[in-house]
Amino acid sequence: MYYTPWMFPYPYHPNDYCANVPMYNNYIRQPYYWNIYDDPRNKIKDYGRKPFVVNINEAAKQNNTYRTALWTGNHLQVTLMSLKVGEDIGLEIHPNVDQFLRIEQGQGIVQMGNRKDNLNFVQNVYDDFAIMIPAGTWHNVTNTGNIPLKLYSIYAPPQHPFGTVHVTKANALEME
């Protein structure tokens, strides 16, 4: 007989209500190893100031809001963003905040410069591209693809209040 530790050794269970063996395959990741994004009941929200582990790629792709803070600590903040086709972040500058962006889905164009009227750094970006923006640099990211541009942003120190959720860009502009 073959060794199959995940299966009951008999052709049927003695009691259908009290099966004392696992009913899953050992080669599949078990529920107690799931993270929050494997469970559809969990929502994307700010889990700040507590230890937190997440599949950032899946979290970014699942986010459908313009901006949602995922984790806000004392010295760092992670936000998820989704830009509609043709939408941009908007030309902005963070005088005292360094920023890291990573594109998880879609394509776009990033523009940066030392002055608002002189964005002399222009680069096309695609899936898995990272963008580093030093404090005091004017910047903008525009979705040039035909699907939403999904990305995440890391601010150091935090830029937005704990629990920030901006459903649309208009909502974000109105709140700031």
176 residues of the chain, pLDDT tens digit each: 444 555 555 555 555 555 555 555 555 555 555 555 455 545 677 777 888 888 899 899 999 999 898 888 888 999 999 999 999 999 999 999 999 999 999 999 999 999 999 999 999 999 999 999 999 999 999 999 999 999 999 988 777 666 677 677 777 777 66
pTM above 0.85, yes or no: no
Backbone φ, ψ for residue 138 (5° rounding)? -70, 140
Contacts (Cβ under 8 Å, ≥6 apart) of 137: 93, 112, 113, 114
pLDDT at 166: 67
Six-digit token string for 41 = 């009941």
Query: Scanning the structure block, which residue is given the tokens 């209040």?
Result: 161
Tell me if the domain spanning 46-175 has CATH number 3.40.50.300: no
Give the residue extent of every domain in the chain. 46-175
pLDDT at 41: 46
pLDDT at 49: 81
> CA 120, 126, 128 angle in degrees (round to 5)?
115
Instruction: Report the amino acid identity of residue 17.
Output: Y
Six-digit token string for 28 = 């599949």
